[in-house]
Structure 1
Amino acid sequence: MSRIGKKPVPLPAGVTATLSGQSIEVKGPKGTRTFNATDDVTITIGEGEVKVEPRGSSKRARQQWGMSRSMIENLVTGVTTGFKKELEIQGVGFRAAMAGNVLKLNLGYSHDVDFTPPPGITVTAPKQTEIVVEGIDEQQVGQVAANIRKWRAPEPYKGKGIRYKNEFIFRKEGKKK
């Protein structure tokens, strides 16, 4: 039995869910998101909650049960509060600034890095050393944050680069004389 799959997904006030076949659409104050479930699970919408049940007892049905419930919960969270990833920049001369909708990164290269976020994702730079990525799709927010981090990943000797907030970078000891 899936401990995750057994729990129903509560629908907060202001959020509506509609089901058509195996596709569920969730509407909320921040937008609309959809999820297409596989044929291994049955989705039902009740009084202020969404329930997911497996069809049969195969291994694949049990796997899809917990995963589908988690995906539906992410839809509800996305349209109510949204998702957010915070990045920090460390290094002398490394900075970020917004120019309209474009994030301009100065990361020690001979040129500035211009990053245009995809539609549905909001990128802000409240300080020169902080970047905040927000949106209603958890996967897309994480992918955009990873793409920004990839321009200058933190190095293990001095820790310079772009890192997630509160990320621990294992530091190496340098050369000894």
Structure 2
Amino acid sequence: MDTVSLQVTGTLKAGDGHNSQALTVEALDSTSPSLPRKGTGFVAKIYDPLYFGDDDGYLDPFRCMDKYYTHEANAYPALREFQGRDGPTYHGSYTPRVVFVDLAHALFDRRRDDPAALTLNCFLGDYISPPLRWNEAKFKASPFDDWVDWDWDPWLTAEFAHTVTSITPEMREQWADI
């Protein structure tokens, strides 16, 4: 199996409102001479169901992304004769190694919404901004702390900066001790 390690160097089209994420990347290393050599820059396209634009929830984002991905990946071999001349050069289709964690019906320190639950109100049903909920001190105390090998707080702050205005003084008081 051929593998290539990439480093993202920029974005061309990414985030909400884009079904596919187009990133500029640089090859760090590869296991085959047919793959891009170290230092080669190119565009990587990622199909992530997280960014699928169906706000009404009628469509299965995983099926839709799979359809878009397989159609595009199958088009490149059919257009092989035009690659590098009248179109982009196709270096193959790769699947990242992904770990899924299914936490089922976890409430993450919020109260249950049933009569038997305690009356503690942890803002059940309200959006709690990740910078408030998941700062590094709280995250490092979790059993998942060894999963994160990057500087967590700056990433969290930048990624969810648009949500900070939703934090109320009551939320800050409640979540400060959790």
The reply to whether TM is greater than 0.5 is no
- TM-score normalised by L of structure 2: 0.21
Which protein has greater RCO, CA pairs closer than 8 Å, 6+ apart? 1
Higher strand residue share: 1
TM-score (norm 1): 0.21
**Structure (1/2) with the larger helix percentage:** 2
